[in-house]
Structure 1
Amino acid sequence: MNLTSQLLDLMLEASNLSRWQFIQEYSIPPLVAVPRLPGALLPVFGLLYVLIFCLAVVGNGAVLVLLCRKKALQSPSTFFICSLALSDLLIAIVCVPASLLQHFFKNWLAGDFLCKLVPFLQVTAIATSILTMTCIAVERFQGILYPLHVRNSYVLHSSIRMLAAVWLIALAIAAPMWFVQKVEVKYDFLFDVYHTCCLEVWSNHHQRLGYTACLYVLVFLVPMLTMAVLYGKIMRELWGKHRVHEAMFQTLPGSEINKITRSEACTDHLATLLETPTVLCFHSLATFLFFTLQEEEKSSEDDGNSGSSVCCLLVSISPCVTAAGLWEAGPGPGL
């Protein structure tokens, strides 16, 4: 039943109840859904957001400073890692504080510009991270399986072009968010209160579901399959050369073995700590949103806000985990 102001007045008159008695008697929820956490969880999520913000900013900032100052580390991998750190900084600096404020206050306080900017940068940063990791997989595939077919200068220029394409594609993917995000003032006549909300205003649910499906395919499914194929071939190639490497180690001095093993350890940490957690966090976010929007299409009331506490925290955790991987892998000589 669609409750209107006139219908509410008739029901109040017929029931001989006050407005608040009527709401409590029939357990009627607010007409304007406001994404707020339960009061008991606010301190926990607040502490997590602050901790994640500090770790992500310090970790990614330190990696950017370190890689930019040490010229010896300037390589194709360095450009890719800087791109990852920059995209994660965007999430940490812009998106995390805005999400935190949204859960602590009933009204959107950041204005129309940030209402558009925060989701736009969030999608841009996530797309950039996933696509950059795909570029890293391509670069590793070429370097390990075809090391003699590519020159350093060619790889460097190719990496710069790939990164430029990654950021342009990410901006194009995120562009719809800039146009659908709007600040609206909604009146809840049941509770007699006004709410200032930052909403996704789509023409219809089909457009919204279509965009989410395209986002899932272009930013997760295709890159994930590409990385799985490339790393599968890399693992098969390295596994085949395992015994050859063991024979080579036996002929090298101890100091050289330490250098090689340290370099390989940094590469392993970069692949494991940097890529897997970020992909899994985004996979959880994308899957959650995709199926949530499908359920929302069946509902009669939708305020157009696909954000939730779980989604915001998943996106916020991603740069924190990535920063830890970058900090451990960044200084290594293997880059």
Structure 2
Amino acid sequence: MSQNRSSLRLFSLAPATNTSHSPPMSDWEPPSFTRAAQIRVGAIFVLFLLAACSNLALLASVWCGRGRRLASHLRPLMLSLASADLMMTFVVMPLDAVWNVTVQWYGGDALCKLLCFLKLFAMQASAFILVVISLDRQHAILYPLDALRAHRRNRHMLLIAWSLSLLLASPQLFIFRAIRVEALDFTQCVTHGSFSRHWQETLYNMFQFTTLYIVPLLVMTCCYGRILLHIHQQHVRDKAGESYLRRSGTDIIPKARMKTLKMTVVIVLTFVVCWTPYYLLGIWYWFQPDMLQVTPEYVHHGLFVFGNLNTCCDPVIYGFYTPSFRADLAACCRWMFGDPSPPSPNRLSARPGPPRGELDPATSNQEAK
């Protein structure tokens, strides 16, 4: 069985030999570095460069650029999102590319456990932080007068998100191991022998799938569903003349807050669009494993690469909705290509903000509500 089809083992996160009920080792055929895998490695390398540059730029902007003026309760959210994306960039992408090139595992048992743990930890953190962002937007829209407790509430939710990610990824440290097939002189990082029954492995995979995708998706859907319902109800009241504080239905919520809401909706939708095909294909293989042999190899690789595209999209979406981020990038480019003075935070903050009428969620104090 080709290693490249292994990427559909979603939550064990290892090659196709990663199963407690693989064929007998004596009948097993080692995987190879196929043409489809080579294309996958090239695509992952391009995504790695894009994701690393864009997320590092976002992190720098929010940490020491104009993004410092982001509302106090939003700034930790964007820092955490950029950090989770960088974990995906510097752990998941290089590990996947190198593993496809080497085909077998050369890192030893300890590194096998550690990297498989970090891989799932990065994926869990990325999903849970989107949940925290969705909960924050729900609270900001439904309870706009409760802004004073937003910073503390978000810190607690982020702590829970990172802690849960750590906890849910910890089984990887125990079920993975480096196993050597002496007859074939082949070593692989797998879960072979970690589960005594096939249903135990299936249960583990389903649990990880639920926590990694189903639960975040349900929570985010519920949050934005409540937000849309709230906006609709406010709009109906305005049209009925029940609101005397707003001039029109377009003023249901402040423009800066609405802009940030649109940005977070697009970020969440991007996560869903990028990863859903990959997860659905993985579920299909759980219940019909024979399809793994007949589905074209490029389908598996293409869906995995498409899922990793999400890591590059977050900073692009943030930049599209945030003029301050684009200003930081422009200042950095001027410094790199001839401006003798570096783009220090003082220079960035001294420059004029966006034109009047262009509300920036990263610089608008109104968004602190």
Q: TM-score, normalised by structure 2?
A: 0.67
Residue type at the aligned position of 1:79: P
Question: Does the C-alpha gap of structure 1 residues 142 and 265 become closer, same or farther in structure 2, counting only changes over 3 Å?
Answer: closer
Name the % identity.
20
What are the superposed Cα offsets for residues 228-280 of structure 1, whole Å, 9 maximum, x if unpaired? Answer: 12211211222344585773879xxxxxxxxx7576445413321x2112233
283-292 or 43-52: bigger deviation: 283-292
Partner of 2:167 in structure 1? 172
Residue 315 of structure 2, aligned match among 287, 312, 323: 323
The residue that corresponds to 1:38 in the other structure is: 34
Q: 1:219 to 1:234 in 2, by over 3 A?
A: same
The yes-or-no answer on 1:51 pairing with 2:39 is: no
Distance in 2 between the 1:141 and 1:227 partners? 9
Give the letter for the 2:195 counterpart: S
Which residue pairs with 1:200 in the alignment? 191
* Deviations, residues 166-193 of structure 1 (Å, cap 9, x unaligned): 1111111111111111111114x5xxx3
Q: Quick check: 2:41–2:100 contact (8 Å CA) kept in 1?
A: no
Contact 2:48 2:93 in 1 (8 A): yes
Corresponding residue SS for 1:91: helix
Contact 2:178–2:189 (8 Å) recurs in 1: yes
Matches within 5 A, 1:293-304: 293-296=286-289
1:275 aligned to which of 259, 268, 271: 268
Q: Distance in 1 between matches of 2:314 and 2:30?
A: 31
**CA drift at 1:161:** 0.8
**Unpaired segments of 5 or more residues in structure 1?**
1-29, 251-259, 300-307
CA contact (8 A) 1:181 1:198 kept: yes
Aligned with residue 145 of structure 1, among 133, 142, 145: 142
Q: Equivalents in 2 of 1:265, 1:218: separation in Å? A: 29
Larger radius of gyration: 1
Alignment gaps of 5+ in structure 2: 1-25, 239-245, 292-299, 326-359, 363-369
CA root-mean-square deviation: 3.0
Q: Is the 8 A contact 1:212 1:290 kept in 2?
A: no
1:94-144 per-position Cα deviation (integer Å, ceiling 9, x unaligned): 221121122122322333333223321222122222222122121111111
Instruction: Say yes or no: does 1:238 pair with 2:231.
Output: yes
For residue 203 of structure 1, give the secondary structure of its aligned residue in structure 2.
coil
Report the Cα distance in structure 2 between the residues aligned to 1:311 and 1:60, rounded to whole angstroms. Answer: 22
Task: Tell me the equivalent position of 1:20.
Answer: none
Which residue in 2 is equivalent to 1:247?
Answer: 248
In the superposition, relative to structure 1, how do residues 249 and 74 fare at CA in structure 2: closer, same or farther (>3 Å)? closer
1: CA distance between counterparts of 2:286 and 2:29? 15
Q: Is the Cα–Cα contact under 8 Å of residues 36 and 102 in structure 1 kept in the other structure?
A: no
Query: SS in structure 2 opposite 1:108?
Result: coil
CA contact under 8 A between 1:185 and 1:194: conserved in structure 2?
yes
Once the two structures are superposed, residues 13-62 of structure 1 have per-residue CA deviations (whole angstroms, 9 ceiling, x without a partner) of xxxxxxxxxxxxxxxxx9435454522x3442232111100111111111
Contact 2:33-2:103 at 8 Å conserved across structures: no
Change (3 A) 1:59 1:283: same
CA contact (8 A) 1:116 1:178 kept: yes
Distance 2:260 2:55 in 1: 17
Partner secondary structure for residue 195 of structure 2: coil
Q: Which residue among 105, 109, 115 is the counterpart of 1:108?
A: 105
Checking the alignment, whether the CA contact within 8 Å between 2:140 and 2:147 is kept in structure 1 is: no
Q: 1:37 to 1:283 in 2, by over 3 A?
A: farther
**Aligned counterparts of 2:276 and 2:247: Cα–Cα separation in 1:** 37
How many residue pairs get aligned? The number is 281
Q: Distance in 2 between matches of 1:31 and 1:282?
A: 34
